[in-house]
Structure 1
Amino acid sequence: MRSSVSNAMALAAGCALAILLPACGESRSQEDGSKPPQQVGVVTLVNAPLVLTQELPGRTRAMQVADIRPQVSGIVKKRLFVEGEFVQAGQALYQLDDAVYRASFDSAQANLRKAEVTAHAAQLAARRSRELNKIHAVSEQDNESAVMAADQAQAEVGVARATLQSARVNLAYANIVAPISGRIGKSNVTEGSLVTANQDEPLALVQKLDPIYVDVNQPSANWLALKQAIDSGRLQSSDAGAAVSIQLENGAAYGHEGKLQFSDVTVDPTTGNFLLRAVVPNPKLTLLPGMYVRAIVKEGTLADALLAPQQAVTLDADGKASAWVVDKDNKVKQRSVRVSRTVGDQWLVEDGLKAGERVIVEGGQKVEPDMLVKAVPVSRPAPAASAGR
């Protein structure tokens, strides 16, 4: 019995010693000042192709615009179109009361016939006079007078023809037609209205809306930065014909992609901007002239873009950027970084970091330079294929 008690006591003492030994070891470790490395989350940077885009405000403009104005005066007899519908070039739009112009045309026709008859008679008289002059039956003076009369009569025929042509044109102008194909707006006059030649107010407006222009303004500073990147070979430019995506003013994406047509050659001194114009398909007439849109213009492609998570980059009060990097010895280093634009939740890095380096995205508030850390990779989504600003 006594032996069993002794064994139990020995076993209990052994267990107590086993429990106390780790605690003692931990206490000694804390007294020595050693502790496990701080754990931080890191992302390894990689180079990847990146399409650079720029989002710019713009307005839609009709590709062609024609003011419908009368070229002769008269009373509107008929309106021959439906407001808001598509009209073809040459289609009749208004018919003016053409009674006066038709009478002038008929009179000019009669005058021409009269002049032609007179000219024909004068030519016959001149021919006969020349024949008689050869046999000295008429004087030289009388012969010259007959020839001059024939010439004068022929000139009168020319004047009569010009008058007839003018009357024909005026008569045709009484029928006002569409100069271009497109959508016609509201009519500013009604039947019975008096209109005058070359009046200030147009009768209506015809606009070609498919395709349609989108005019946007780009800051010249952005253009200079873009040009420098292209000249250095870092950026492969899309140039003229670059694809342009449109975002409507309600935030919805427009279903058709346009093409950059041209960029202006003059910078507006008051705004520092210059014009970019895109041609956009508009088959359903979703875009109407004067609408506000946002155009996403593809500037070019970076073959080896370097993107860093925004959590890895810190901006100070002066706007200077920095990042914590874990080196190959798992020690923390602070880097000054230069970034240019955001790409989703990442920064496009221009200088200060390179591919293969590990940047801290979690736990950076607790690190110091040259601190030994335990770097744990943090999973990140694939880099974006395009970047805007």
Structure 2
Amino acid sequence: MQNATIDRRSCPKAAAGRNHRRAFALFALLPFLAVSCSEEPQASKTAAAAARPQVSVTVLHPQNVAVTAELPGRTAASLVAEVRPQVTGIIRARNFREGSEVKEGDVLYEIDPATYQAAYDTEVAAVQKAEGALPSAQSKVDRYKSLAQQNAVSAQDYDDATSTLAQAQADLASARAALETARINLDYTKIRAPIDGRIDESSVTVGALVQAAQTTALATINSLDPINVDVTQSSTNLLKFRRAVEEDRLKMSGDNVAVRLILEDGSTYAQNGTLEFTSASVDKTVGTFTVRATFPNPDRLLLPGMYVRAIIEEGVAQNSFLVPQRAVTRNAKGEATAMFVDADGKVAQRILPVQQSVGNSWLVSDDIADGDRVVVEGLQQIKDGQGVTATEVILDDATGMIKQSDAGTANPADQAALSPDRK
């Protein structure tokens, strides 16, 4: 049997059916093609915006910033007195407790006063003897004076009587001086506190022999309220400070400069101090000079020799900016740099002339304008000239960490890039 081959092109009904099915299929796809063509530009915009890195920024505003210097130093007693004997003798009593507070004039030690009491009594007798000889000599002079006027005695006898009177007066004065010396030595047998303060340990005990000219102190008294804090400052920083004042970048705080104190454990001392003086010369070996501040110390929390850090208010930097330290990095040259976001959402890197740290920020007075936005989070994923999506945040001044979002929205340029085109 022979297979018959049918030429479908020659069949009018078959060709008409195929054309009808193609038209119906194209008609069914038209809505999807229209939707796809209309959403393609918008989808590309959304994808481009979504590809922009997310960063957090904070807005900078000018302000008057108190410029402080944190300097290391040590505490020192405001008064120091070494207790020493002024007469020789045996210690008979010690009248204080080591480490206690003493008052000026308190009797600290008692030296056996027997020999000094005897010397005092001897001088008392010598004064009485001199006083007894004086009236007789005075009477003789008075009597010879009247007789000399009558030529009843010779002028020589009158001169001798006058000389005897003068000698008696001198003996009385000498005896009184010796009595005062004996009284002073007797009083020195009671060794008294020269100042108020806290007394350290005693170097001698009862029964020890002490001498007037000995080099070893019996004890030391330190006056702790107020207490001094001596810190060192470099001469380089002093020159920078004076240059800033001359250029009106820094306004001095005045004569009453407040000083705060950071203790060894990192805590802040409750009492503020005052600046007393700065040394008039610079140490040749290390190039520093000494600054002394005085602090009240009613609770005796501060003791001499403690290591502390003093925060001294040097002045006020007017119309300056505080750039968060977390926003600042260093380039290969060691220069401080930061990323700023402009109004178009583009990142621009700037070199900042940082002056010093203030808390968790850097003090900058130049190359920043009011309202500039600096990147504080997301620095690792951006580069200079790149478009970003910026969200404004607020930083905690105490920790430098992000506290909360200020607006919670992107800048206008970022919002325009993210919002769909509904037209």
TM-score with structure 1 setting the length? 0.87
1: CA distance, partners of 2:328 / 2:225: 46
1: CA distance, partners of 2:89 / 2:187: 13
In 2, are the aligned partners of 1:59 and 1:214 still within 8 Å (CA)? yes
State, as a whole percentage, how many aligned pairs show the same letter. Answer: 42
1:182 CA drift (Å) = 1.3
> Which residue in the other structure is 2:233 paired with?
218
1:377 CA drift (Å) = 3.5
Q: Say yes or no: does 1:60 pair with 2:75.
A: yes
* 3-state DSSP of counterpart to 2:159: helix
* 3-state DSSP of counterpart to 1:378: strand
> Which residue in the other structure is 2:33 paired with?
17
Q: Say yes or no: does 1:378 pair with 2:392.
A: yes
Amino acid at match of 2:107: A
Rg larger in structure? 2
> Which residue in the other structure is 2:282 paired with?
267
Instruction: Show structure 1 runs of 5+ residues with no match.
Output: 385-389
Aligned-pair Cα RMSD in Å: 2.9
1:20 CA drift (Å) = 5.1
1:249 CA drift (Å) = 1.0
* Residue deviations 1:223-274 (CA, integer Å, cap 9, x gap): 2212222233322222443222212112222222222222221111111111
Q: Say yes or no: does 1:278 pair with 2:282.
A: no
* Residue deviations 1:94-136 (CA, integer Å, cap 9, x gap): 1111111111111111011111111221111122122222222
> Which residue in the other structure is 2:135 paired with?
120
* Residue deviations 1:199-229 (CA, integer Å, cap 9, x gap): 1111111111111111111111112212222
Closer, same or farther: CA 133–270 of 1 in aligned 2, 3 Å? same
* Residue deviations 1:260-306 (CA, integer Å, cap 9, x gap): 22222111111111111111111111111111111122222223221
In 2, are the aligned partners of 1:72 and 1:197 still within 8 Å (CA)? yes
> Which residue in the other structure is 2:407 paired with?
none
Closer, same or farther: CA 183–309 of 1 in aligned 2, 3 Å? closer
Where does structure 1 differ by over 6 angstroms across 4 or more consecutive aligned residues? 5-8
1: CA distance, partners of 2:352 / 2:188: 71
Closer, same or farther: CA 8–157 of 1 in aligned 2, 3 Å? farther
Amino acid at match of 1:164: L
1:195 CA drift (Å) = 0.4
In 1, are the aligned partners of 2:108 and 2:190 still within 8 Å (CA)? yes
Q: Alignment partner for residue 176 of structure 2, among 161, 165, 168?
A: 161
In 2, are the aligned partners of 1:60 and 1:291 still within 8 Å (CA)? yes
> Which residue in the other structure is 1:387 paired with?
none
In 2, are the aligned partners of 1:241 and 1:261 still within 8 Å (CA)? no
* Residue deviations 1:153-200 (CA, integer Å, cap 9, x gap): 111111111111111111111111111111111111111110000311
Within a 5 Å distance, the mapping from 1:254-333 to structure 2 comes to 254-333=269-348
* 3-state DSSP of counterpart to 2:202: coil
In 2, are the aligned partners of 1:240 and 1:261 still within 8 Å (CA)? no
* 3-state DSSP of counterpart to 1:319: coil
Q: Alignment partner for residue 207 of structure 1, among 201, 218, 222?
A: 222
* Residue deviations 1:5-40 (CA, integer Å, cap 9, x gap): 99995675246535753687699x79xxx9558456
Higher relative CO (CA 8 A, sep ≥ 6), structure 1 or 2? 1
Q: Alignment partner for residue 230 of structure 1, among 236, 245, 266?
A: 245
Q: Alignment partner for residue 205 of structure 2, among 187, 190, 194?
A: 190
> Which residue in the other structure is 1:93 paired with?
108
Instruction: Show structure 2 runs of 5+ residues with no match.
Output: 1-16, 399-423
> Which residue in the other structure is 1:74 paired with?
89
Number of residue pairs matched by the alignment:
375
* 3-state DSSP of counterpart to 2:201: coil
Q: Say yes or no: does 1:351 pair with 2:351.
A: no
Closer, same or farther: CA 273–177 of 1 in aligned 2, 3 Å? same
* 3-state DSSP of counterpart to 1:286: coil
1: CA distance, partners of 2:93 / 2:139: 50
Q: Alignment partner for residue 335 of structure 1, among 347, 350, 364?
A: 350
In 1, are the aligned partners of 2:53 and 2:382 still within 8 Å (CA)? no
In 1, are the aligned partners of 2:260 and 2:271 still within 8 Å (CA)? yes
2: CA distance, partners of 1:379 / 1:314: 19
2: CA distance, partners of 1:313 / 1:91: 61
In 2, are the aligned partners of 1:240 and 1:262 still within 8 Å (CA)? no
2: CA distance, partners of 1:62 / 1:136: 76
1:375 CA drift (Å) = 5.0
Closer, same or farther: CA 249–128 of 1 in aligned 2, 3 Å? same
> Which residue in the other structure is 1:43 paired with?
58
* Residue deviations 1:63-102 (CA, integer Å, cap 9, x gap): 1111110111111111111222211111111111111111
Amino acid at match of 2:393: S
1:342 CA drift (Å) = 2.6
* 3-state DSSP of counterpart to 2:134: helix
In 2, are the aligned partners of 1:40 and 1:360 still within 8 Å (CA)? no
Closer, same or farther: CA 93–310 of 1 in aligned 2, 3 Å? closer
Q: Say yes or no: does 1:367 pair with 2:383.
A: yes
Closer, same or farther: CA 150–324 of 1 in aligned 2, 3 Å? same
